[in-house]
């Protein structure tokens, strides 16, 4: 009997996904990755099903190890790795993959948004803003990037202005008074 091709497998997986049979789709992909062990596309699709559809981050992480060996220089690989690490709150690992994804010059607005989210969580606002602006350059109507950028830019501008504040330690007796004074100062300037 003839082995099914990767295209046939992907078509079958798409049909199973459309029918809501996600466990069966994952099983089909596992079988396919055993038949075609060097196919990074099958591995990436399995990761997407695990992480985005089945909410199984541990299974996604296990398959991610395999994909990183198959396609270590692919920005898509690092996009998926960053997303998985973010989902399990492994921020150092997420940052490493986001940095690599950006270094490899990803052209995925979704990947850049994921990178921006990671940088935001790590308070690396300038990097986050750069990722979001690039995502919007690639796809001007990328809503998630636009919303996060609107959120980040005013906060980033304010944080950059903090060094302009007068010495607040000598103003007011209580930390909340100092915060109010700082807020008033930023609003006025």
What pLDDT score was predicted for residue 7? 87
Distance CA 155, CA 120 (A): 11
Spans of all domains in the chain: 6-158
Given the structure tokens 């559809």, which residue do they identify?
53
What pLDDT score was predicted for residue 151? 84
Ranges of residues in the chain with a pLDDT under 50 are 1, 161-169, 171-172, 189
- Domain with residues 6-158, CATH architecture: Alpha Horseshoe (1.25)
Distance CA 3, CA 153 (A): 53
Alpha helices in 40-174, H assignment, sequence order: 40-48, 57-70, 75-87, 91-103, 109-121, 125-138, 143-161
What pLDDT score was predicted for residue 87? 87
What pLDDT score was predicted for residue 183? 52
């Amino acid at each position: 009997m003839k082995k099914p091709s990767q295209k046939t497998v992907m078509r079958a997986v798409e049909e199973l996904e459309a029918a809501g049979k996600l466990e069966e789709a994952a099983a089909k992909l596992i079988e396919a990755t055993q038949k075609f062990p060097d196919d990074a596309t099958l591995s990436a699709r399995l990761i997407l099903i695990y992480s985005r559809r089945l909410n199984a981050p541990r299974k996604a992480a296990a398959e991610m190890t395999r994909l990183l060996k198959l396609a270590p220089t692919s920005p898509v690989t690092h996009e998926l790795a960053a997303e998985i690490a973010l989902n399990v709150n492994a921020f150092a690992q997420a940052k490493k993959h986001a940095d690599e994804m950006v270094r490899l010059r990803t052209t995925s607005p979704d990947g850049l948004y994921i990178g921006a989210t990671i940088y935001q969580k790590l308070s690396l606002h300038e990097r986050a803003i750069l990722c979001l602006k690039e995502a919007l350059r690639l796809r001007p109507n990328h809503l998630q990037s636009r919303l996060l950028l609107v959120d980040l830019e005013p906060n980033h501008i304010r944080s950059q202005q903090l060094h302009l504040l007068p010495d607040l330690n000598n103003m007011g007796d209580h930390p909340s008074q100092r915060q109010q004074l700082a807020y008033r100062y930023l609003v006025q300037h």
